[in-house]
Amino acid sequence: MARAFRAASPLPLPSSWSAVTNGGGAGSSGNNFPWLSKKRSSNKATAQQQQQRGDREEPKSNAAEASTEQSPSPSSSSSSRKRADALARLRSLFLAAITHRRRRRQLGSCVTGTIFGRRRGRVHVALQTDPRSAPVLLVEMAAYSTGALVREMSSGLVRLALECEKAPLAAGEKRRALLEEPTWRAYCNGRKCGFAVRRDCGADEWKVLGAVEPVSVGAGVLPDDVVAGAGAAAAAGSEEGDLMYMRARFERVVGSRDSEAFYMMNPDGSGGPELSIYLLRV
C-alpha cells in the first residue's frame, strides 16, 4: 500500500514553474524571462522619447502660429494696401465733384449784395449766396467812383445796368453763363459810366467782405485799421478817401439765359433808397 501511494503521487515541479503558477511578482517573471523585460523597457524608452519630442515641437508650433497671426502674409498686406488706395482715390474724386458742383451751382432766389469802395475810388459790386461764401460775381466799375454812386442814391432811385456782347459761337461750342462774362458796359440811371470788369476775390476784397459779414442790412464807413494794406497801398487808399459800403438782400429774377435782375429788398418795408442791378447780354 505504501509503495502504491508513493508511485501515484506527482513528481515535484521546478522552482521556476512553481513561482509562475503561484502568481509570482513582476521581478521574478523578469528574472525568469529576460527578453520580456527588455521589450518592456524599450517600449517605455520610446514612449518617453516621443513625449519629449512632442513637448519640444508644441512650443515651436505655437510660436509659428502666433507669428503667422501677428505678421500677415505679403499677399494680404498688398491687397489691403490696394483697397486703401482705391478708397482714397474714390474719396478724393467724390470731394472734387462736390466742390465743383458747389462752385457751378446757380444762385437762389435771394442773394446778399455788397457795394463798396473808396469815396474817390472805384465801385465794387459783390453778390454772394450767403454772407460767408465766396462771391459768385465780383464786378469792378473802372470809371465810376463810389462818391458819384452815393450822390445818385440820394435821389432815391438807382438803376445799374451791365451789358455784354453776345458773340457768335463756333460749331460745338457752348456759351458761358451770364455771370461768367469777363467785361461789361456800365450804365447808371441810363447814363453810360465806362466799363466794368469781372474780378476774382483777392485779399483786399476778402478783408472788406469779412469786416461787413455780421451786417445783414446797412451802410456805413469802415475804419482804415480794419481794411488798410501796408506801405504804398495803404497810402494810396488813404488818399482816395474813406471806404464806404452798402449791404442788403437782393431778390433775383431770371428773365432768360441772357438777362437777370437783382432788386434790393427792404426788410422793414420802408421806402428807402431803391437799388436795382440788371445784367444783359445783347
Instruction: Return the residue matching grid coordinates 420802408.
Output: 270
43-53 residues labelled b (16+ CB within 10 A) or e (exposed): eeeeeeeeeee
Mean pLDDT, range 51-64, rounded to an integer:
53
Helix H or strand E segment including 226: helix 224-227
Domain ranges (residues) in the chain: 72-104, 110-281
pLDDT in tens, 255-278: 999 999 999 988 776 665 589 999
Mean pLDDT, range 77-82, rounded to an integer:
79
Confidence of residue 55 (pLDDT cuts 50, 70, 90): low
Confidence of residue 78 (pLDDT cuts 50, 70, 90): confident
pLDDT in tens, 98-153: 544 544 445 678 999 999 999 999 999 999 998 989 999 999 998 899 999 999 98
Mean pLDDT, range 39-52, rounded to an integer:
61
60-94 residues labelled b (16+ CB within 10 A) or e (exposed): eeeeeeeeeeeeeeeeeeeeeeeeeeeeeeeeeee
- Above 70 in pLDDT, residue 282? yes
pLDDT in tens, 9-31: 444 544 444 444 444 444 444 45
pLDDT in tens, 235-258: 566 688 899 999 999 999 999 999
Q: How many helices (H) and strands (E) does the chain have?
A: 9, 10
Q: How far apart are CA 205 and CA 233, in angstroms?
A: 13
Mean pLDDT, range 197-219, rounded to an integer:
92
